[in-house]
Every structure is written in C-alpha cells, then in structure tokens.
Structure 1
C-alpha cells in the first residue's frame, strides 16, 4: 500500500468511527460558516454530491440552497471515470447510482455545463493547508476540476487537515477550505 492509500484508509477509519454527536456538531458548524459566507451568498447554483453515511451530510446544504432559490446540481458518473452534473429540483429525480451514491436520473432533470455551476463543493477524506485533497482514489473530481472555471470549496473537520499530502501530477487543490473552526482560506 502506498502512502496515499495508507492515509486514505486512516482518514476513512476516522470518519466512520466518529461518534454521531460529534459528527452532528461538526456539520452544524460547517453549515453555519458556509451559509453566512460571501462564497455561498454569491452563488446562484451549487454543485455537490449526495453524501454517504460517513461523509458530511449534504441534504442540509441542498435544502438550504432550495430555500434560497439556488440551483442544485448533482453529479452522475459517466464512462471513463467522468462526471456530468444535473440540475435537480426534488429528491424524486435521484436513484441509486454507481458507488452506492444517489445520482440524478437524466430523463428527469437537466444537464448543466461546468460554467453554470457557481460553487462546487468537492468531497474528500483528508486535506492539506494548501487545499490539496485525498479523495476515494477514482480521480473523478480531479478530472472534473481540470477545466472548472468557478469557485471550489471543501468541507472538513479539523481532524481531516494534515500537514502534508503526497501530491500527484493530476491532483488539483480547491480554492477554499472550510473547517469547523472557519475558513482556512
């Protein structure tokens, strides 16, 4: 197992073993900081993934976006480890997709281009203080971010921030990193 994979496994274990009360507290802090930020307020459309149980819950973010009249865009996995985002207006437009993650049903929603997503919330397991991340190893987001023109942000607990990460040639940092202590940048 290489250094990245060892870190990935350690980070996943930490997330999966976090007590539910601690998880809810972190999610509450992340949401409070995010919703009061200019990055969130200025975005008329938000791209995000439907979270797995050990990840930070994104349903609260989706509901807040809908409440504020924002366009919510959710990814669907495509061939060659790609992603396409679709505008959803209801959870009825989702189905069980690849990797046990809820995905949009293309026939029930509208495909959106990268430039139509003002703020992309990028998932990950571990981060460094420059915004580089270790995700699940599929490279889906690194491919998508390669020519993504707008704001990118990741949500993380303080425990997910480590000093340095092994960075590969295709790894791209997010522009903003928000922890339960506030924005790092």
Structure 2
C-alpha cells in the first residue's frame, strides 16, 4: 500500500473513533506524556494545534502554560514547504488557515527559534515501533527535523500503530511514541 492509500485508510479509521472514546484516549496519552523525561525537562515544547480526530493537543498546550513552559506552535509556509514556529500564549492568537487548521498569527505571536525548542511533538497518521511515521503529506516535519537538535516524541492512538509503513530516504524517525497503553522508545 502506498503512502497516499495508507493516509486515506488511517483518516477513515480515525474518523470512526467516537468522541467520548477519543477524549478518554487523548487524556491517557497526555497523562503518559507528562510523565516522560522529555516533557518534565523541557522548557520549550513545540506542538501542533490538533484537529479532531487527531490526538487532542489542546489539553497539552494548557498544561504547558500551567507549568510555565513556552509553547511553540508551527505555521506552514506552503510554497517552501517549511515550518516556522511561534510562541503561543493564548488560543485567541490563532488564525484559521487552509483545511480549517489553526495556526499562530504572525502578527500576534513572537517567533520561536528552533535551537530554543527542547522537544517537538511530531504529528502523524500512522507510526511504526522504529519511530518512522506516516505524516499528513508535504514533508514539512521531515525538513524541519533534518537540522533539529532537540528531542522528538509522537502521540498516537493504538489504532495508529502499524507493522509497516513505506519509508523513504528523507523520512526521519522520532525517538519516542506515546500511546494510551505505553511509552515506546524507538530503536
């Protein structure tokens, strides 16, 4: 199965999760994330603003604020297929962009330099135990991770863990995957 077919299959699978199950699994994943060394030691966490049915990151952003962490949220530059991160201090400073996604408004948020980010929570649709992931297409995160020096973690529902994902030379694996059942150190 190629990446495009697998993306379609994973999106369909995620859309079958009922809201209350989704909420509970997201809560369990967030709780496990908060217990990781990556979270505890991070001063600055980079994370996307989730869109249902992805693992809910809104509660993760709130927890980061409560703990005094700096939260950096990505803004896509589609022409260059690059990510720019901005410090988010209020959900009111987000703007709706393509596909109904929410991103930081550059006018309302300060830029975050990649070297100041301690951990990036890397999104995806499917994940292998090796840390390779199927992203949403576009390769934004793989480009960003090429030069990123910090730690990488992905959040995944059990349904997103896969035996096999097509891996290409430019794909960069994450170091840990946190699901509702486990925290997996990727080898």
- Corresponding residue of 1:127: 127
The alignment's C-alpha RMSD in Å is 1.1
Using the size of structure 2 for normalisation, the TM-score is 0.94
- The size of the alignment, in residue pairs, is 184
User: Is 1:37 aligned to 2:44, yes or no?
Assistant: no
Judge conservation of contact 1:74–1:104 (CA < 8 Å) in 2.
yes
**TM-superposed deviation, 1:123:** 0.6
Unmatched 5+ stretches in structure 1: none
- Corresponding residue of 2:184: 184
SS of 1:107's equivalent? coil
**TM-superposed deviation, 1:5:** 1.4
1:2-40 deviations in whole A, cap 9, x for unaligned? 611111111111111111122112111101111122111
SS of 1:31's equivalent? helix
Which stretch shifts more, 50-59 or 62-71? 50-59
Using the size of structure 1 for normalisation, the TM-score is 0.95
- Corresponding residue of 1:93: 93
Q: Which structure: greater helix fraction? A: 1
1:133-171 deviations in whole A, cap 9, x for unaligned? 001111111111111110110000111111121101111
Judge conservation of contact 1:77–1:98 (CA < 8 Å) in 2.
no
User: Is 1:169 aligned to 2:169, yes or no?
Assistant: yes
Structure 1 runs (4+) deviating above 4 angstroms are none
Which stretch shifts more, 172-181 or 99-108? 99-108
* Distance in 1 (alpha carbons) for counterparts of 2:156 and 2:92: 28
Which stretch shifts more, 122-131 or 89-98? 89-98
* Distance in 1 (alpha carbons) for counterparts of 2:27 and 2:112: 29
